[in-house]
């Protein structure tokens, strides 16, 4: 199930993450539209929970299943506490937790008011035991994500009730039970994903594209895997509840496998920009050059150096400088092609690898990136904590080509770096693709 996350946010020393002073709640920092959206979700949860509780006397409740789901959900949280804490700290805009494995079966087997109890207990357990110590899970976002997930569960519950036509689970045919479980899981996943995407968009107007709103391909594959485990858990809980403990084993194994993959990704990613770090970029470049040699292809290589970047740090502080680097990283990810690779080489220097690009295409890409840097307006804070907008940024870009400028990655990097130096000497804010100004593109 998708839950919101953020980069680590500053807290008061010794803070538990909960303030009893409403004026200090972090939710006030976020857009008004997101706050109204979250308030509507909370109100919706209250309404469906009360209505479900009022209907509680109209049917029997399987308290054994309720207890098993609650115990297994808490047991999973305890078994994977360290893993989940590390995963949360490595997550980006969204975080895929494993609660769907237990709450999806609950939509089929329990009334909504008990599902609300399960949600509340499991989320609070995760927050206190795993998420809060990492300081990457603001409580307001957790409440918002939980309410949206609970509303998705409520919709899935209504669908499953309709498909089962009010019959007890023990009297339902295997075909009807299987259909109800699969449809309920699909309804839950669709509504939860769309509701969370709307929340992300309302919270961050700059978020756009499938990955920003719905997560990466790996995120969605993990979501699909947890959904499959939830279907398995639903079958087991419906037919032989006390055997549901077997679901803990693959869940714990999956949890650790996912952490390993996240750690591998983190090891190859620059923390400030989200781009490939120098080591990962060089490894990818070596593979690309080897493939180009075998297939007699050209490869473009750009070196991008922000002009007068030290002034940003001196005038506004290093945190503002980090915000500028992050904005440039985001811009590069959106400007390059899907099969290109942007990386940060350290400081204010970036590199872009352009497989199967000729010199004209590489120069055009370099010029587009140069222009986009001049258009950036980065919202940040100065050393006094006052809001500032940093603009008037420029960059000098050097272009090199394989095999024109060298047979090895380091040879092309050296030439691209020389071209950056030439751009600096010519007045900065320009692209140079040849030495001595020949063939260069200069800013007006």
Say if 435 falls within a structural domain: yes
Longest CA span, the chain: 86
| Length of the chain (residues) | 444
Question: 219-245: string of b/e by CB count within 10 Å (b at 16+)?
Answer: bbebbebbbebbbbbbbbbbeebeebe
Domain boundary among 206, 241, 264: 264
Q: Residue 389 is part of a domain; what is its CATH number?
A: 3.30.70.270
- Residues 207, 87 within the same domain: yes
Domain boundary among 234, 264, 294: 264
Please state the domain count of the chain: 2
Question: 64-76: string of b/e by CB count within 10 Å (b at 16+)?
Answer: ebbebbbebbbeb
pLDDT tens over the chain, length 444 residues:
666 554 333 333 334 445 556 666 667 777 889 899 999 999 999 999 999 998 876 555 678 899 999 999 999 888 887 777 666 655 655 667 788 898 889 998 899 999 999 999 998 888 888 776 545 557 778 888 899 999 999 999 999 989 988 787 878 888 889 999 999 999 999 999 999 999 988 887 766 677 778 877 777 888 888 899 999 999 999 888 889 899 888 888 887 777 666 666 666 788 888 899 988 899 999 999 999 999 999 999 999 999 999 999 999 999 899 999 999 999 998 899 888 999 998 889 999 999 999 999 999 999 999 999 999 999 998 888 888 999 999 999 999 999 999 999 999 999 999 999 999 999 999 999 874 444 444 443
Q: Which two tokens stand for residue 298?
A: 């050209």
- Residues 435, 368 within the same domain: yes
DSSP assignment of 245-277: GGGHHHHHHHHHHHHHHHHHHHHTB-TTTSSB-
- Residues 18, 126 within the same domain: yes
Domain boundary among 222, 241, 264: 264
Dihedral pair phi/psi, residue 407, rounded to 5°: -95, -15
Bond before 228 cis per omega within 30 degrees? no
**Residue 149 to residue 195: CA distance in whole angstroms:** 8
- Residues 149, 32 within the same domain: yes
Say if 377 falls within a structural domain: yes
**Residue 198 to residue 177: CA distance in whole angstroms:** 32
Say if 86 falls within a structural domain: yes
Which is it for the CA torsion 280, 283, 285, 287, positive or negative? negative
- Residues 155, 36 within the same domain: yes
Q: Quick check: 125 and 102 in contact, CB under 8 A?
A: no
Which residues form the domain of 417? 278-442
Say if 272 falls within a structural domain: no
**Residue 138 to residue 18: CA distance in whole angstroms:** 9
- Residues 343, 234 within the same domain: no
- Residues 246, 287 within the same domain: no
Q: Which residues pair with 351 in a beta bridge?
A: 303, 343
- Residues 110, 253 within the same domain: yes
pTM above 0.75, yes or no: no
- Residues 340, 365 within the same domain: yes
- Residues 213, 108 within the same domain: yes
Say if 146 falls within a structural domain: yes
User: What are all long-range contacts of 16-21, with beta carbons under 8 Å and residues at least 24 apart?
Assistant: 16/132, 17/132, 17/135, 17/138, 17/139, 18/139
- Residues 227, 285 within the same domain: no
Say if 273 falls within a structural domain: no
| Distance set, CA 124 to CA 98, 129, 238, 248 (Å) | 14, 8, 26, 20
- Residues 173, 318 within the same domain: no
């Amino acid at each position: 199930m998708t839950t919101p996350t953020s980069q680590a946010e500053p807290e008061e020393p010794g803070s538990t993450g909960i303030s009893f002073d409403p004026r200090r709640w972090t939710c006030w920092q976020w857009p008004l539209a997101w706050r109204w959206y979250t308030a509507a979700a909370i109100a919706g949860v209250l309404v469906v929970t009360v209505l479900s509780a009022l209907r509680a006397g109209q049917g029997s409740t399987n308290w054994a299943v309720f207890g098993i789901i609650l115990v297994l959900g808490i047991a999973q949280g305890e078994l994977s506490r360290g893993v989940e804490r590390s995963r949360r700290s490595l997550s980006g805009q969204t975080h895929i937790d494993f609660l769907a494995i237990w709450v999806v079966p609950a939509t089929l087997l329990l009334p909504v008011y008990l599902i609300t109890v399960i949600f509340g207990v499991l989320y609070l357990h995760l927050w206190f035991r795993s998420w809060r110590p990492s300081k990457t899970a603001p409580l307001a976002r957790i409440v918002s994500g939980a309410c949206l997930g609970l509303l998705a569960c409520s919709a899935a519950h209504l669908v499953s009730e309709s498909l089962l036509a009010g019959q007890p689970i023990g009297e339902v045919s295997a075909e009807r039970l299987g259909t109800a479980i699969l449809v309920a899981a699909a309804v839950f996943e669709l509504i939860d994903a769309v509701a969370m995407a709307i929340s992300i968009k309302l919270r961050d107007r700059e978020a756009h594209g499938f990955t920003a709103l719905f997560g990466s391909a790996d995120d969605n594959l993990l979501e699909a895997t947890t959904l499959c485990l939830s279907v398995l858990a639903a079958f087991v809980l419906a037919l032989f509840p006390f055997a549901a403990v077997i679901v803990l084993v693959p869940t714990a194994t999956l949890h650790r496998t996912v952490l390993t993959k996240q750690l591998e990704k983190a090891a190859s990613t620059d923390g400030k920009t989200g781009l490939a770090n120098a080591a990962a970029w060089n490894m990818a470049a070596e593979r690309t050059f080897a493939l180009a040699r075998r297939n007699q292809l050209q490869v473009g290589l750009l070196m991008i150096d922000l002009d007068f970047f030290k002034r940003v740090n001196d005038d506004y502080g290093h945190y503002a400088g980090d915000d500028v680097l992050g904005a440039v990283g985001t811009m590069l990810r959106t400007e390059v092609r899907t099969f290109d690779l942007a990386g940060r080489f350290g400081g204010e220097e970036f590199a872009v690898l352009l497989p199967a690009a000729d010199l004209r295409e590489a120069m055009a890409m370099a010029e587009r990136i140069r222009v986009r840097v001049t258009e950036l307006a980065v919202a940040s804070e100065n050393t006094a904590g006052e809001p500032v907008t940093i603009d008037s940024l420029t960059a000098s870009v050097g272009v090199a080509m394989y095999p024109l400028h060298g047979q090895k990655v380091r040879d092309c990097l050296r030439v691209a770096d020389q071209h950056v130096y030439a751009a600096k000497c010519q007045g900065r804010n320009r692209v140079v693709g040849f030495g001595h100004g020949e063939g260069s593109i200069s800013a007006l």
